[in-house]
Structure 1
Amino acid sequence: MNTEPNPGTADVVRLVERAFDATVAVLGAVPAEGWDAASPCAGWTVRQVGNHLVGSLSLVDRYAREEPVSAADADSARYADVDLLGDDPAKALRAVAERCAAAFSAFDTLDREVPFVIGQVPGFLLTRVCLLESLVHGWDIAHATGTPYRADDAVIGAVSSFARRGPIEERRAAGMFAPEQPARPDDTEFNRLLAFLGRRLP
Protein backbone atom coordinates (compact mmCIF):
# COMPACT_ATOMS: atom_id res chain seq x y z
CA MET A 1 0.00 0.00 0.00
CA ASN A 2 1.24 3.48 -0.80
CA THR A 3 2.36 5.59 2.19
CA GLU A 4 3.16 8.75 0.24
CA PRO A 5 1.82 11.83 2.05
CA ASN A 6 -1.18 13.56 0.51
CA PRO A 7 -0.11 17.13 -0.39
CA GLY A 8 -3.68 18.41 -0.71
CA THR A 9 -6.54 17.84 -3.09
CA ALA A 10 -6.08 20.96 -5.25
CA ASP A 11 -2.38 20.31 -5.84
CA VAL A 12 -2.95 16.62 -6.60
CA VAL A 13 -5.78 17.35 -9.04
CA ARG A 14 -3.65 19.93 -10.87
CA LEU A 15 -0.86 17.37 -11.23
CA VAL A 16 -3.29 14.77 -12.57
CA GLU A 17 -4.67 17.30 -15.03
CA ARG A 18 -1.16 18.09 -16.29
CA ALA A 19 -0.51 14.40 -16.85
CA PHE A 20 -3.77 14.08 -18.75
CA ASP A 21 -3.05 17.18 -20.85
CA ALA A 22 0.24 15.72 -22.09
CA THR A 23 -1.30 12.39 -23.04
CA VAL A 24 -4.36 13.94 -24.68
CA ALA A 25 -1.94 15.96 -26.82
CA VAL A 26 -0.20 12.75 -27.88
CA LEU A 27 -3.45 11.08 -28.91
CA GLY A 28 -4.40 14.17 -30.88
CA ALA A 29 -1.12 14.01 -32.83
CA VAL A 30 -1.13 10.32 -33.80
CA PRO A 31 -1.30 10.02 -37.60
CA ALA A 32 -4.15 7.98 -39.08
CA GLU A 33 -1.83 5.14 -40.03
CA GLY A 34 -0.28 5.06 -36.56
CA TRP A 35 -3.23 3.47 -34.76
CA ASP A 36 -2.48 0.02 -36.19
CA ALA A 37 1.22 0.15 -35.28
CA ALA A 38 2.63 -2.31 -32.75
CA SER A 39 3.10 -0.75 -29.31
CA PRO A 40 5.59 -1.45 -26.50
CA CYS A 41 2.72 -3.25 -24.74
CA ALA A 42 3.25 -6.80 -25.98
CA GLY A 43 0.52 -7.95 -28.34
CA TRP A 44 -1.31 -4.61 -28.41
CA THR A 45 -1.55 -2.06 -31.19
CA VAL A 46 -1.48 1.65 -30.46
CA ARG A 47 -5.28 1.76 -30.69
CA GLN A 48 -5.58 -1.08 -28.17
CA VAL A 49 -3.33 0.80 -25.75
CA GLY A 50 -5.53 3.87 -26.16
CA ASN A 51 -8.68 1.82 -25.56
CA HIS A 52 -7.12 0.27 -22.46
CA LEU A 53 -6.11 3.70 -21.14
CA VAL A 54 -9.60 5.15 -21.55
CA GLY A 55 -11.13 2.02 -20.02
CA SER A 56 -8.74 2.07 -17.07
CA LEU A 57 -9.44 5.72 -16.31
CA SER A 58 -13.18 5.07 -16.58
CA LEU A 59 -12.74 2.39 -13.93
CA VAL A 60 -10.85 4.78 -11.67
CA ASP A 61 -13.67 7.30 -12.05
CA ARG A 62 -16.24 4.67 -11.07
CA TYR A 63 -14.21 3.60 -8.04
CA ALA A 64 -13.75 7.23 -6.97
CA ARG A 65 -17.52 7.70 -7.09
CA GLU A 66 -18.00 4.35 -5.28
CA GLU A 67 -20.11 2.95 -8.10
CA PRO A 68 -20.57 -0.85 -8.28
CA VAL A 69 -17.96 -2.56 -10.47
CA SER A 70 -18.42 -6.17 -11.54
CA ALA A 71 -15.52 -8.61 -11.69
CA ALA A 72 -15.65 -8.54 -15.49
CA ASP A 73 -15.59 -4.74 -15.62
CA ALA A 74 -12.67 -4.64 -13.18
CA ASP A 75 -10.43 -6.42 -15.70
CA SER A 76 -8.89 -3.37 -17.36
CA ALA A 77 -7.07 -5.47 -19.97
CA ARG A 78 -10.37 -6.39 -21.62
CA TYR A 79 -10.91 -2.79 -22.70
CA ALA A 80 -8.08 -3.06 -25.21
CA ASP A 81 -10.52 -4.81 -27.54
CA VAL A 82 -13.46 -2.46 -26.91
CA ASP A 83 -13.64 0.63 -29.12
CA LEU A 84 -13.59 3.42 -26.57
CA LEU A 85 -11.68 5.91 -28.73
CA GLY A 86 -14.26 6.35 -31.47
CA ASP A 87 -13.54 8.82 -34.25
CA ASP A 88 -11.79 11.32 -31.98
CA PRO A 89 -9.37 9.56 -29.59
CA ALA A 90 -8.13 12.78 -27.98
CA LYS A 91 -11.70 13.86 -27.24
CA ALA A 92 -12.51 10.45 -25.75
CA LEU A 93 -9.51 10.60 -23.42
CA ARG A 94 -10.20 14.22 -22.50
CA ALA A 95 -13.77 13.36 -21.50
CA VAL A 96 -12.81 10.55 -19.13
CA ALA A 97 -9.85 12.54 -17.78
CA GLU A 98 -12.16 15.40 -16.87
CA ARG A 99 -14.53 13.01 -15.12
CA CYS A 100 -11.67 11.61 -13.04
CA ALA A 101 -10.41 15.05 -12.04
CA ALA A 102 -13.93 16.13 -11.12
CA ALA A 103 -14.45 13.02 -8.99
CA PHE A 104 -11.22 13.63 -7.10
CA SER A 105 -12.27 17.21 -6.39
CA ALA A 106 -15.95 16.77 -5.63
CA PHE A 107 -16.19 13.77 -3.36
CA ASP A 108 -13.27 14.23 -0.93
CA THR A 109 -11.91 11.08 -2.53
CA LEU A 110 -8.34 11.66 -1.44
CA ASP A 111 -9.26 11.80 2.25
CA ARG A 112 -11.16 8.52 2.61
CA GLU A 113 -10.98 4.83 1.88
CA VAL A 114 -12.46 3.86 -1.49
CA PRO A 115 -13.07 0.54 -3.24
CA PHE A 116 -10.55 -0.66 -5.80
CA VAL A 117 -9.73 -3.84 -7.67
CA ILE A 118 -7.46 -4.97 -4.80
CA GLY A 119 -9.92 -3.97 -2.06
CA GLN A 120 -10.32 -0.81 0.02
CA VAL A 121 -7.47 1.65 -0.52
CA PRO A 122 -6.72 5.28 0.36
CA GLY A 123 -8.39 7.51 -2.22
CA PHE A 124 -5.04 9.19 -2.84
CA LEU A 125 -3.86 5.92 -4.42
CA LEU A 126 -6.33 6.36 -7.28
CA THR A 127 -4.63 9.58 -8.32
CA ARG A 128 -1.28 7.79 -8.51
CA VAL A 129 -2.84 5.06 -10.66
CA CYS A 130 -4.07 7.81 -13.01
CA LEU A 131 -0.63 9.39 -13.18
CA LEU A 132 1.08 6.08 -13.91
CA GLU A 133 -1.43 4.98 -16.54
CA SER A 134 -1.41 8.34 -18.31
CA LEU A 135 2.35 8.81 -18.23
CA VAL A 136 3.47 5.34 -19.26
CA HIS A 137 0.79 4.62 -21.84
CA GLY A 138 1.25 8.13 -23.23
CA TRP A 139 4.88 7.20 -23.80
CA ASP A 140 3.87 3.85 -25.29
CA ILE A 141 1.70 5.59 -27.88
CA ALA A 142 4.22 8.34 -28.61
CA HIS A 143 7.12 5.91 -28.92
CA ALA A 144 5.23 3.58 -31.26
CA THR A 145 4.12 6.38 -33.58
CA GLY A 146 7.07 8.76 -33.45
CA THR A 147 4.89 11.40 -31.83
CA PRO A 148 6.53 13.99 -29.55
CA TYR A 149 5.69 13.57 -25.86
CA ARG A 150 6.41 16.29 -23.32
CA ALA A 151 6.13 14.51 -20.01
CA ASP A 152 5.86 16.76 -16.96
CA ASP A 153 8.84 16.50 -14.59
CA ALA A 154 6.62 16.61 -11.50
CA VAL A 155 4.46 13.81 -12.91
CA ILE A 156 7.57 11.71 -13.62
CA GLY A 157 8.77 12.25 -10.05
CA ALA A 158 5.40 11.34 -8.53
CA VAL A 159 5.07 8.19 -10.63
CA SER A 160 8.64 7.13 -9.86
CA SER A 161 8.04 7.53 -6.13
CA PHE A 162 4.80 5.57 -6.31
CA ALA A 163 6.12 2.80 -8.56
CA ARG A 164 9.12 2.10 -6.36
CA ARG A 165 7.06 1.78 -3.16
CA GLY A 166 5.06 -1.22 -2.02
CA PRO A 167 5.13 -4.85 -3.19
CA ILE A 168 7.07 -4.37 -6.43
CA GLU A 169 7.67 -8.03 -7.17
CA GLU A 170 4.01 -8.82 -6.54
CA ARG A 171 3.09 -6.18 -9.07
CA ARG A 172 5.45 -7.73 -11.59
CA ALA A 173 4.04 -11.20 -10.93
CA ALA A 174 0.51 -9.86 -11.43
CA GLY A 175 1.49 -8.31 -14.77
CA MET A 176 1.15 -4.71 -13.62
CA PHE A 177 4.88 -4.12 -14.19
CA ALA A 178 7.00 -6.01 -16.72
CA PRO A 179 10.46 -7.31 -15.80
CA GLU A 180 12.92 -4.48 -15.25
CA GLN A 181 15.10 -3.58 -18.22
CA PRO A 182 18.66 -2.21 -18.12
CA ALA A 183 19.12 1.53 -18.00
CA ARG A 184 22.22 3.51 -18.92
CA PRO A 185 24.03 5.62 -16.29
CA ASP A 186 23.36 8.80 -18.27
CA ASP A 187 19.64 8.11 -18.81
CA THR A 188 17.08 10.70 -17.80
CA GLU A 189 14.86 10.09 -14.78
CA PHE A 190 12.01 9.31 -17.16
CA ASN A 191 14.03 6.72 -19.06
CA ARG A 192 15.17 5.10 -15.82
CA LEU A 193 11.54 4.91 -14.71
CA LEU A 194 10.46 3.37 -18.02
CA ALA A 195 13.22 0.77 -17.76
CA PHE A 196 12.20 0.00 -14.18
CA LEU A 197 8.65 -0.59 -15.38
CA GLY A 198 9.86 -2.95 -18.11
CA ARG A 199 10.00 -0.75 -21.19
CA ARG A 200 12.86 -1.41 -23.60
CA LEU A 201 14.50 1.86 -24.55
CA PRO A 202 16.06 2.55 -27.96
Structure 2
Amino acid sequence: MTDGGNSAPGTGIGAGPGGGADSPVDLRPAARRTAALVTRVEDAQLDDPTPCTEFAVRDLLRHIGNLAVGLQYTARKELGEVTAAAPGSAGDQPLPDDWRERLPHQLADLAVAWSAPGAWTGTTQAGGFTLTGTEGGLVTLDELVVHGWDLARATGQRYDVDEESLRAVHGFLAGAVEEDGEQGIFGQIVHVGKDAPLLDQVVGLAGRDPGWRSPAA
Protein backbone atom coordinates (compact mmCIF):
# COMPACT_ATOMS: atom_id res chain seq x y z
CA MET A 1 0.00 0.00 0.00
CA THR A 2 2.09 2.91 1.23
CA ASP A 3 5.14 1.44 -0.46
CA GLY A 4 3.34 1.39 -3.77
CA GLY A 5 2.06 -2.14 -3.49
CA ASN A 6 5.10 -4.29 -2.71
CA SER A 7 3.87 -5.34 0.70
CA ALA A 8 0.80 -5.09 2.86
CA PRO A 9 -0.17 -5.36 6.51
CA GLY A 10 -1.71 -8.42 8.07
CA THR A 11 -4.09 -8.99 10.95
CA GLY A 12 -3.01 -7.74 14.34
CA ILE A 13 -0.49 -5.15 13.24
CA GLY A 14 0.16 -1.81 14.81
CA ALA A 15 -1.47 -0.02 17.68
CA GLY A 16 -4.78 1.74 17.87
CA PRO A 17 -5.19 5.50 17.53
CA GLY A 18 -2.80 7.37 19.77
CA GLY A 19 -0.83 4.17 20.41
CA GLY A 20 -3.57 1.93 21.72
CA ALA A 21 -6.90 3.69 22.18
CA ASP A 22 -9.95 2.21 20.48
CA SER A 23 -11.63 5.46 19.42
CA PRO A 24 -11.56 6.30 15.71
CA VAL A 25 -9.61 9.16 14.20
CA ASP A 26 -11.21 11.84 12.03
CA LEU A 27 -9.78 11.28 8.53
CA ARG A 28 -11.22 14.49 7.11
CA PRO A 29 -8.22 16.74 7.85
CA ALA A 30 -5.81 14.31 6.18
CA ALA A 31 -8.11 13.84 3.20
CA ARG A 32 -8.57 17.60 2.74
CA ARG A 33 -4.83 18.17 3.01
CA THR A 34 -4.01 15.59 0.36
CA ALA A 35 -6.79 16.89 -1.89
CA ALA A 36 -5.39 20.42 -1.68
CA LEU A 37 -1.94 19.14 -2.63
CA VAL A 38 -3.40 17.34 -5.65
CA THR A 39 -5.02 20.48 -7.02
CA ARG A 40 -1.70 22.35 -6.95
CA VAL A 41 0.32 19.80 -8.91
CA GLU A 42 1.44 21.22 -12.25
CA ASP A 43 1.30 19.28 -15.51
CA ALA A 44 5.04 19.79 -15.92
CA GLN A 45 5.61 17.86 -12.67
CA LEU A 46 3.80 14.66 -13.64
CA ASP A 47 6.93 12.83 -14.74
CA ASP A 48 9.06 14.02 -11.81
CA PRO A 49 10.33 11.46 -9.27
CA THR A 50 8.82 10.94 -5.82
CA PRO A 51 10.10 9.44 -2.55
CA CYS A 52 8.37 6.20 -3.71
CA THR A 53 11.22 5.12 -5.96
CA GLU A 54 8.95 3.16 -8.31
CA PHE A 55 6.51 6.06 -8.74
CA ALA A 56 6.66 9.24 -10.76
CA VAL A 57 4.21 11.95 -9.69
CA ARG A 58 1.57 10.73 -12.16
CA ASP A 59 1.87 7.19 -10.76
CA LEU A 60 1.52 8.47 -7.21
CA LEU A 61 -1.60 10.43 -8.16
CA ARG A 62 -3.09 7.35 -9.81
CA HIS A 63 -2.27 5.30 -6.70
CA ILE A 64 -3.92 7.88 -4.44
CA GLY A 65 -7.06 7.75 -6.60
CA ASN A 66 -7.13 3.95 -6.53
CA LEU A 67 -6.74 3.73 -2.78
CA ALA A 68 -9.30 6.50 -2.22
CA VAL A 69 -11.87 4.36 -4.02
CA GLY A 70 -10.78 0.93 -2.81
CA LEU A 71 -10.58 1.82 0.87
CA GLN A 72 -14.16 3.07 0.77
CA TYR A 73 -15.16 -0.55 0.19
CA THR A 74 -13.00 -1.50 3.17
CA ALA A 75 -14.79 1.06 5.36
CA ARG A 76 -18.21 -0.15 4.25
CA LYS A 77 -17.14 -3.81 4.57
CA GLU A 78 -18.26 -4.46 1.01
CA LEU A 79 -15.84 -7.33 0.59
CA GLY A 80 -15.19 -8.71 -2.86
CA GLU A 81 -13.02 -8.19 -5.91
CA VAL A 82 -11.92 -4.67 -4.92
CA THR A 83 -10.88 -5.49 -1.35
CA ALA A 84 -9.35 -8.84 -2.34
CA ALA A 85 -7.08 -7.35 -5.01
CA ALA A 86 -3.39 -7.19 -4.18
CA PRO A 87 -1.98 -3.71 -3.48
CA GLY A 88 -0.84 -2.06 -6.69
CA SER A 89 -2.76 -4.46 -8.94
CA ALA A 90 -4.44 -1.53 -10.71
CA GLY A 91 -1.15 0.27 -11.22
CA ASP A 92 -1.16 0.07 -15.01
CA GLN A 93 -4.31 2.18 -15.36
CA PRO A 94 -3.76 5.63 -16.92
CA LEU A 95 -4.17 8.76 -14.84
CA PRO A 96 -7.64 10.13 -15.74
CA ASP A 97 -7.69 13.42 -17.64
CA ASP A 98 -9.86 15.05 -14.96
CA TRP A 99 -7.64 13.99 -12.04
CA ARG A 100 -7.54 17.46 -10.46
CA GLU A 101 -11.33 17.41 -10.08
CA ARG A 102 -11.86 13.68 -9.57
CA LEU A 103 -9.28 12.91 -6.88
CA PRO A 104 -10.44 15.54 -4.36
CA HIS A 105 -14.00 14.21 -4.62
CA GLN A 106 -12.78 10.64 -4.15
CA LEU A 107 -10.74 11.65 -1.12
CA ALA A 108 -13.73 13.46 0.40
CA ASP A 109 -15.89 10.37 -0.14
CA LEU A 110 -13.20 8.26 1.52
CA ALA A 111 -13.26 10.40 4.65
CA VAL A 112 -17.06 10.23 4.74
CA ALA A 113 -16.96 6.42 4.47
CA TRP A 114 -14.65 6.18 7.48
CA SER A 115 -16.83 8.54 9.53
CA ALA A 116 -19.86 6.24 9.24
CA PRO A 117 -21.04 4.34 12.33
CA GLY A 118 -19.42 0.92 12.45
CA ALA A 119 -16.61 1.65 10.00
CA TRP A 120 -13.93 1.21 12.69
CA THR A 121 -15.52 -1.90 14.24
CA GLY A 122 -15.72 -5.56 13.32
CA THR A 123 -13.66 -7.18 10.58
CA THR A 124 -12.92 -6.01 7.06
CA GLN A 125 -10.45 -6.52 4.22
CA ALA A 126 -7.93 -4.49 2.21
CA GLY A 127 -5.36 -5.65 -0.32
CA GLY A 128 -6.47 -9.24 0.20
CA PHE A 129 -5.67 -9.09 3.92
CA THR A 130 -8.18 -9.49 6.74
CA LEU A 131 -8.10 -6.56 9.15
CA THR A 132 -10.04 -5.28 12.12
CA GLY A 133 -12.02 -2.15 11.44
CA THR A 134 -9.53 -0.16 13.52
CA GLU A 135 -6.60 -1.51 11.52
CA GLY A 136 -8.41 -0.70 8.28
CA GLY A 137 -9.00 2.87 9.42
CA LEU A 138 -5.38 3.30 10.45
CA VAL A 139 -4.11 1.82 7.19
CA THR A 140 -6.27 4.41 5.40
CA LEU A 141 -4.97 7.25 7.56
CA ASP A 142 -1.39 6.09 6.99
CA GLU A 143 -1.95 6.12 3.23
CA LEU A 144 -3.29 9.68 3.39
CA VAL A 145 -0.57 11.05 5.64
CA VAL A 146 2.45 9.35 4.10
CA HIS A 147 1.39 9.72 0.48
CA GLY A 148 0.46 13.31 1.22
CA TRP A 149 4.07 13.83 2.35
CA ASP A 150 5.31 12.00 -0.76
CA LEU A 151 3.30 14.28 -3.03
CA ALA A 152 4.22 17.46 -1.19
CA ARG A 153 7.92 16.63 -1.20
CA ALA A 154 7.89 15.60 -4.88
CA THR A 155 6.16 18.81 -5.99
CA GLY A 156 7.82 21.31 -3.65
CA GLN A 157 4.75 22.03 -1.53
CA ARG A 158 4.50 22.78 2.18
CA TYR A 159 3.21 19.91 4.31
CA ASP A 160 1.62 20.50 7.71
CA VAL A 161 -0.04 17.63 9.56
CA ASP A 162 -2.62 17.85 12.32
CA GLU A 163 -1.38 16.42 15.61
CA GLU A 164 -4.12 13.79 15.96
CA SER A 165 -3.43 12.24 12.56
CA LEU A 166 0.32 12.27 13.07
CA ARG A 167 0.23 10.63 16.49
CA ALA A 168 -2.21 7.98 15.31
CA VAL A 169 -0.05 7.03 12.32
CA HIS A 170 3.11 7.03 14.45
CA GLY A 171 1.50 4.69 16.98
CA PHE A 172 0.28 2.42 14.21
CA LEU A 173 3.64 2.16 12.44
CA ALA A 174 5.78 2.01 15.59
CA GLY A 175 3.61 -0.76 16.98
CA ALA A 176 4.43 -2.96 13.98
CA VAL A 177 8.22 -2.70 14.00
CA GLU A 178 9.77 -6.16 14.07
CA GLU A 179 12.01 -7.33 16.91
CA ASP A 180 15.17 -6.51 14.97
CA GLY A 181 14.13 -2.86 14.95
CA GLU A 182 14.89 -2.61 11.24
CA GLN A 183 11.74 -3.76 9.47
CA GLY A 184 8.33 -2.15 9.60
CA ILE A 185 5.05 -2.76 7.84
CA PHE A 186 6.41 -1.42 4.59
CA GLY A 187 9.95 -2.74 4.69
CA GLN A 188 13.25 -1.27 5.79
CA ILE A 189 12.97 1.56 8.32
CA VAL A 190 14.97 4.77 7.94
CA HIS A 191 16.21 5.64 11.42
CA VAL A 192 15.96 9.32 12.32
CA GLY A 193 16.36 9.37 16.10
CA LYS A 194 13.86 9.80 18.91
CA ASP A 195 14.47 13.54 19.08
CA ALA A 196 13.54 14.09 15.43
CA PRO A 197 10.23 15.84 14.62
CA LEU A 198 7.31 13.43 14.80
CA LEU A 199 6.61 13.77 11.07
CA ASP A 200 10.20 12.73 10.31
CA GLN A 201 9.78 9.72 12.61
CA VAL A 202 6.60 8.71 10.79
CA VAL A 203 8.24 9.10 7.40
CA GLY A 204 11.21 7.02 8.54
CA LEU A 205 8.95 4.27 9.90
CA ALA A 206 7.26 4.21 6.48
CA GLY A 207 10.64 3.61 4.83
CA ARG A 208 11.24 7.12 3.54
CA ASP A 209 14.23 9.39 3.99
CA PRO A 210 12.86 12.58 5.62
CA GLY A 211 15.61 14.53 3.87
CA TRP A 212 14.53 13.45 0.39
CA ARG A 213 14.27 16.27 -2.12
CA SER A 214 13.25 16.08 -5.75
CA PRO A 215 16.14 16.60 -8.17
CA ALA A 216 13.62 18.52 -10.28
CA ALA A 217 13.10 21.11 -7.54
Please say whether Structure 1 and Structure 2 have the same fold, judged by a TM-score greater than 0.5.
Answer: yes
Question: Is there any run of 5+ residues in structure 1 with no aligned partner, and where?
Answer: none
Could you say which residue in structure 2 is the equivalent of 1:142?
152
Between the two proteins, what is the percent identity of the paired residues? Answer: 24
Moved more, 108-117 or 148-157: 108-117
Is 1:197 aligned with 2:206?
A: yes
Query: What is the distance in 1 between the residues matched to 2:15 and 2:149?
Result: 26
TM-score, normalisation: structure 1: 0.82
Query: What is the distance in 2 between the residues matched to 1:94 and 1:66?
Result: 22
Moved more, 68-77 or 92-101: 68-77
Query: What is the distance in 1 between the residues matched to 2:104 and 2:42?
Result: 18
Could you say which residue in structure 2 is the equivalent of 1:18?
29
> Which residue identity lines up with residue 88 of structure 1 in the other structure?
W
**Equivalent of residue 49 in structure 2, options 38, 42, 47:** 38
Could you say which residue in structure 2 is the equivalent of 1:61?
72
Moved more, 54-63 or 184-193: 184-193
User: What SS does structure 2 have at the residue aligned with 1:76?
Assistant: coil
Query: What is the distance in 1 between the residues matched to 2:125 and 2:99?
Result: 31
Could you say which residue in structure 1 is the equivalent of 2:142?
132
**Equivalent of residue 114 in structure 1, options 124, 136, 142:** 124
- The answer to whether the 8 Å contact 1:20/1:97 transfers is yes
TM-score, normalisation: structure 2: 0.77
Deviations 1:83-137 (A, max 9, x none): 3543233x32222223223323335222222233354322122221111101111
Deviations 1:31-70 (A, max 9, x none): 2211110111112101101111221221111122233433
Question: Is there any run of 5+ residues in structure 2 with no aligned partner, and where?
Answer: 1-11, 212-217
Query: What is the distance in 1 between the residues matched to 2:133 and 2:83?
Result: 22
Is 1:74 aligned with 2:85?
A: yes
Provide closer, same or farther for how the CA distance between residues 72 and 109 of structure 1 changes in structure 2, counting only shifts above 3 A. closer
- Flag the structure with higher helix content: 1
Is 1:7 aligned with 2:23?
A: yes
User: What SS does structure 2 have at the residue aligned with 1:44?
Assistant: coil
Query: What is the distance in 2 between the residues matched to 1:33 and 1:98?
Result: 26
Query: What is the distance in 2 between the residues matched to 1:54 and 1:70?
Result: 17
User: What SS does structure 2 have at the residue aligned with 1:121?
Assistant: strand
Query: What is the distance in 1 between the residues matched to 2:112 and 2:168?
Result: 20
How far 1:186 moved relative to its partner? 5.0
- Give every structure 1 segment of 4 or more consecutive aligned residues whose post-TM-superposition deviation is greater than 4 Å: none
The alignment yields a C-alpha RMSD, in angstroms, of 2.7
Is 1:187 aligned with 2:203?
A: no
> Which residue identity lines up with residue 109 of structure 1 in the other structure?
A
